[in-house]
Chain A
Amino acid sequence: MALLLAFMMQTASPPADTTETAAVIETALDMLENDLEDAGSLQETLERAAYDKVRLETASAEALRSIPGISERTVQRILAWRDGGGDLGGPESLLRAGLDERTVALLLPFVAFGRPEPRTRPRVRMHIVQRWQRRLDLGKGYREDPPSGYLGSPDAVQWRVGMRLGDHIAAGVTLDKDAGEPVQWRPGARQFGADFVSFYLSVDQRGPFERIVAGNYTVQAGEGLVAGQGAAGLSSLRVASSDRILKPHASSREYAYFGGAAIQSRPLRGVSLTGFVSQVSLDARADTSLNAWRPIYTGYHRTQTEYERRKQARERAAGGVAVLRRGSLYGGALSIHTLQKLDASRNTHALSVFGGWARARWEGSFEWVPEQGHRSVTVSLNPIENASVHIRTRRTRATGMQDLRPHTRIGVNSRGENYDYAEWLAETRFRPFPSWTATLQVRDRTRPLDPLPHARSRLVAGIVEYRRRNWLTLHIRARTQTFDVASPCRGGRLLLPCTAEEQRQSLRIQVEYRHSAALRARTRLEIVRAEADEAEEKAEGVLLYQDFRWKPWRFMQLDLRYAVFDATDASARVYMFENDVLYGFGVPSFNGRGQRGYALARMQLSRRLTLQWKLGATRYEDVRSTGSGRDETPGNRIRETKVLLQWRFG
């Protein structure tokens, strides 16, 4: 939580879309390089929270707790101020409520002030998003006819329509077609044009009901079951959830949701009861070696083979969540029953017990799932200002449940990988001089890594930042990581796997200069060195890029980047976050030698209409083709373009 708070402090303006949340995301990625998929979830969470602002004057305690990064202490202060008759008409009122400036800056992007204007009829607000993207240099799959090639065009298209009726009713539809997927109208096969369709209707805070959702939704409770998102490691900033348990699913992430109906209610003060039922279709393939069907969770239907696997199985799920909260303590239980219909029906049931506490100096949570052998404990301490220690142990056996959809299992990430690890992370931040900030992060994690039962990884990072009046920032980060990896045994140890050690060190120097409100420049140099026990030479990677953010007119913002990269191999690959169009997310990694450039234009054509356009190109040196398989593209260049149109009215 302290990490998230620190990351959120990087923004000074409401993150309206990707280009605004970039500062938050990019900083968070420093700790997320191994969990980039979860970083995508984080971005969607932040963007959604920035769009659906919480109105402080009328929000329930549960709604307040759903604000990203907010602490229990802050929630209690806001409630006490409001219950005592204090007004919440603007940011200054939060200062009067006892919150410090940093916390207020954290909340601003996600909250609305004042009471809603009285209206004779509820206000209707709608937004329509149309996104199109395409690779301009096409791979082998688009040059061959089916069944070897892709069935559809290389265009990736997404439509999103969202509607809010007053402050209590919301509805949305998302249609998505990935590159290579066909557009077909086959009602019999439940395909209505786009390959993927999700929709929801949500009623919030009416009577005793916190939320009622029909359609597609996700469930998040405790630490482990994060239906639709997957539990993740400490570094993913995931924290225990016991308040906003239901979330409408408006994302294009296929399989990451339930479909049906769900209700979260508050029958008594401090008591939350949730029930949900779901039925979704799954892809499945026949495993001839085991003579059984296996579900598939990629979401791609680009080839004849992939298309034939579409919706071959069904999953029904029903469950409930009960949470009791008293002050800073909470406890609850979640029960979920899943029926999978493949060639034969499979019933599984899981019961999760979770709880936690949140104090000013320390907070923690736990979860226990007996059937899946899942145990998880997290403790975060803030013994002094600007210093924090997080400790988490998490262990999951989940035997016999590997075929279940990851999003209905407890203690796995969205790729279905079990968590069986112990880790601790300590971070301290201090300010020796007014303009200088130093941060030290240490992490130690032990987890099974086939075939090593106790592979260990360690991370030590030091960050020094110099900030001069918010217009010149020097950021230096040095980081070293050590991994245990399996290696061939020597000396007769043939039965036991042997352990070798790999090291990866990186140094990042970044200078950011805010010339004016119209121009910002950023230069980054990153040097990576990777070394394995067995390797004779160290692998090295270098990234140097120059960024500009330019607002030539009030209605237009341009993001420009030119980068040069050079990495010996994948172990020394270099990452760089890219600004993207709304609902896009890019953290490409590069190995090999080449250059990358992109331009992102964001135009506010009118008060209601936004147009975003991105053009990017990567050119590799000394290669004849890029990619592999059906995506192998002749030549050394890959170009892609994205266009997004957003229309808001009401």
Chain B
Amino acid sequence: MPPAASPRRAGPPPGPRRLLLAFLLALFATHAPPCALGQPVLYGARSTALGGATAALPDDAAGQGNPATWAQANAPAASLHGAQWYGLPELKLVGAQLVAPAGQSAIGGSVSAFGFDLYRHITATGGYARRIGFGSHRNVYAGARAEWNQAYIADYGQPGALSLTAGVLFPVTPFVSLGAVAYRLTSFAGPLRADLSRRLAAGALWSPSAALTLVVDAAKAIRSPLSASAGIEIRMVDALVARGGFASGPRRTSGGVGLRVASMRADFAVQKHDALGWTPYLSLHYSW
């Protein structure tokens, strides 16, 4: 992570925003942002509501971290995401994602921005996913995306780095899926590359009926403790789903709802961090 900032010029006494910057840098000195909190940079409200247990969650092109799932999209889809971490207006996350399928393949890309004027983390990704048979009538979904991370820190600079994330998804049966994703498996260039948090997540999904989905994940970031997460999604009526989730390392609980109208879907989630408080998430998803 970026080392502590060394002011180059004398200035006014630190205000609340600079204290927030100092807090952020102290937090990120031991954990990469925002992976310190057990999440990849761009995360949709559905994923958040399920506790982040989305390594094996199929049929969602809306920012859930595993690029393999892009290959499951039947139609082009665009999504917008927004979050306000711990209710602080300075810690806003906004992002957009686009997935375009083409036959057995799909391409996807996203941009997101996190932070405020003194600290901003910008991520731009682009990737490719494909459905492969590997000699069986069952399919395997595999995907990879390149990710450019750039952090702007006031009075310090704008270090950046390119990294590669890869994922795989196995629909084992119509009811069970297995998935794995290696976040920032390797990084190539830029001064920030040594500070990017690498993370391996593996998960399973069990969906015994169209009304119920259960997901569970185990994730280990190299610099963070093991994180276990689980989530449940219940379809109340055709247009409305309710979600709940739990994650450890650090401990978080989450919940949310999803509303589907025609090709539009709106997901809302809240997550409670045991120490830092509540974070609201909102995602809008459109496919055509």
Chain A positions within 8 Å of B, measured between CB atoms, are: 472, 509, 511, 513, 515-519, 521, 523, 525, 527, 542, 544-546, 548, 550, 562-564, 566, 593-595, 621
Contact = CB atoms under 8 A, between A and B. Distances in A.
Contact of B200 (A511, A550, A562): A562
Interface stretch (B16-24, B61-69, B134-142): B134-142
Contacts, number: 74
A521 B168 contact: yes
B198 interface: yes
19 contacts: A509-B218, A511-B202, A513-B178, A515-B136, A516-B133, A516-B135, A516-B136, A519-B140, A521-B168, A521-B178, A521-B180, A523-B202, A542-B225, A544-B219, A546-B182, A550-B134, A562-B182, A564-B200, A595-B222
A517 B204 CA distance: 22
Given A521-B178, A593-B223, A621-B223, A515 B140 contact: yes
A516 to B, nearest CB: 4
B135 A544 contact: no
Nearest to B181: A546
B170 A515 contact: yes
B134 A518 contact: yes
Contacts of B172: 472, 513
Interface in B162-193: 168, 170, 172, 178, 180, 182, 185
A590 to B, nearest CB: 12
B272 interface: no
A513 to B, nearest CB: 6
B220 interface: yes
B226 interface: yes
A512 to B, nearest CB: 10
Given A544-B226, A546-B200, A621-B222, A519 B134 contact: yes
B202 A544 contact: yes
A409 to B, nearest CB: 45
Nearest to B136: A516
Nearest to B166: A562
A372 to B, nearest CB: 49
Q: List the 3 closest A-B pairs by CB distance, nearest first.
A: A516-B136, A519-B134, A518-B135
Nearest to A511: B178
Contacts of B219: 544
A220 to B, nearest CB: 43
B41 to A, nearest CB: 19
A545 B178 CA distance: 14
Contacts of B136: 515-516, 518-519
Given A544-B226, A564-B198, 20 more contacts: A513-B172, A515-B134, A515-B170, A516-B136, A516-B138, A517-B135, A519-B136, A521-B170, A521-B178, A525-B202, A525-B218, A527-B226, A542-B225, A544-B219, A546-B200, A563-B200, A566-B222, A595-B198, A595-B200, A621-B223
A468 to B, nearest CB: 9
A564 B221 CA distance: 8
